[in-house]
């Protein structure tokens, strides 16, 4: 049990893409199972199912259920399985988190409620309602660039008192927050690949990563070295990953990640509207990037 708890609060955790069948729009089940196996073999500690990178906003409930069930059945003996259950509606987030627990998820990752921009006391009430109801650990997810609301440090600290809140995925690259949370005993998972290693220098326990979709072995190794406080060796890996971080920021996530995975032969290129394929002007650079990563 402790080993599984460690996997949901530390190390390299992939925010996994959802592959779709070319032209059909259906979840590509065979490709999904291949991705899960690849990550289990690569040393990824946990997979996030139906998170932002997994195009959660366009997944139907039955698709979410299948993705989560198949992940639990396929890799739960080697990786922790975390379900993305965030919603603008507290009632929906409660129901989604309850369903994830029923399907044997190891934890839920709950993004701050988007669009309606609640005040901080509304965030406290939202997360406490979910944590009170949910039977698995809850990871707060702060990503104001997408949600238009920031989980402020005082709010996160208030929520950390809840016994079911075990960590925060912090996408704001503010090392003072990272230090404050980690010193108070709240596990921090970076939600920003380019600053993840710096966050680990300041007390973060790991990263929930988009880059791990493309370079899982390197990300897992970097996190292990950082946990061992070998920041020189971890920094060398991070330097080799920096071109990947830059490429992944060229267009909205997960457009670049899915293009790279498709070009590498792991999945098809399809996304669901309103997301569209990567602009052709970036394709040549993407192929060069893949070649350089393959040479590592």
Distances (CA, A) of 241 to 169, 193, 211, 281: 21, 9, 8, 21
Catalytic one of 169, 181, 245, 258: 169
- Cα angle value 278/150/56 (rounded, 5°): 40
Question: Annotated catalytic, 169?
Answer: yes
Residue 75: both structure tokens together: 């890799």
Catalytic one of 141, 229, 245, 258: 141
Terminal Cα distance for the chain, rounded: 35
Question: Annotated catalytic, 141?
Answer: yes
At residue 96, φ and ψ (nearest 5 deg) are: -65, -40
Q: How many other C-beta atoms can be found within 10 angstroms of the C-beta atom of residue 23?
A: 8
Residue 187: both structure tokens together: 């596990």
Answer left, alpha or beta for residue 47, where phi above 0 means left and psi between -120 and 50 means alpha: beta
Q: List CB contacts of 82: < 8 A, sequence separation 6 or more.
A: 8, 13, 46, 47, 48, 49, 105, 106, 107, 108, 109, 139
* Helix runs in the chain, H state only: 2-9, 29-42, 61-75, 90-102, 120-133, 144-147, 153-160, 175-183, 193-201, 216-227, 231-248, 255-263, 283-294
Q: Which residues are catalytic?
A: 141, 169
């Amino acid at each position: 049990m402790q080993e599984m708890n460690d996997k949901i609060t530390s190390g390299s955790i992939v925010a996994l893409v959802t592959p779709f069948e070319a032209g059909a729009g259906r979840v590509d089940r065979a490709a999904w199972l291949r991705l899960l196996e690849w990550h289990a073999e690569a040393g990824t500690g946990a997979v996030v199912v139906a998170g932002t990178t997994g195009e959660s906003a366009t997944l139907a409930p039955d698709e979410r259920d299948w993705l989560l069930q198949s992940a639990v059945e396929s890799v739960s003996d080697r990786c922790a399985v975390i379900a993305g259950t965030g919603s603008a509606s507290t009632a929906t987030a409660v129901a989604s988190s309850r369903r994830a627990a029923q399907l044997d998820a190891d934890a839920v990752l709950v993004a701050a409620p988007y669009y309606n921009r609640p005040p901080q006391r509304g965030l406290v009430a939202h997360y406490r309602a979910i944590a009170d109801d949910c039977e698995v650990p809850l990871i707060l997810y702060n990503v104001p660039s997408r949600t238009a609301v920031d989980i402020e440090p005082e709010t996160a600290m208030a929520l950390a008192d809840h016994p079911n809140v075990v960590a925060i995925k912090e996408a704001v690259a503010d090392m003072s927050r990272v230090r404050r949370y980690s010193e108070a005993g709240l596990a921090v998972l970076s939600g920003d690949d380019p600053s993840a290693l710096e966050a680990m220098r300041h007390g973060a326990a790991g990263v929930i990563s988009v880059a791990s979709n493309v370079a899982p072995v390197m990300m897992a190794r970097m996190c292990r070295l950082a946990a061992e406080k070998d920041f020189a060796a971890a920094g060398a890996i991070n330097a080799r990953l920096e071109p990947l971080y830059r490429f992944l920021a060229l267009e909205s996530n997960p457009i670049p990640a899915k293009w790279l995975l498709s070009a590498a032969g792991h999945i098809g290129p399809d996304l669901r509207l309103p997301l569209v394929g990567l602009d052709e002007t970036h394709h040549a650079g993407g192929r060069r990037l893949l070649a350089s990563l393959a040479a590592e």
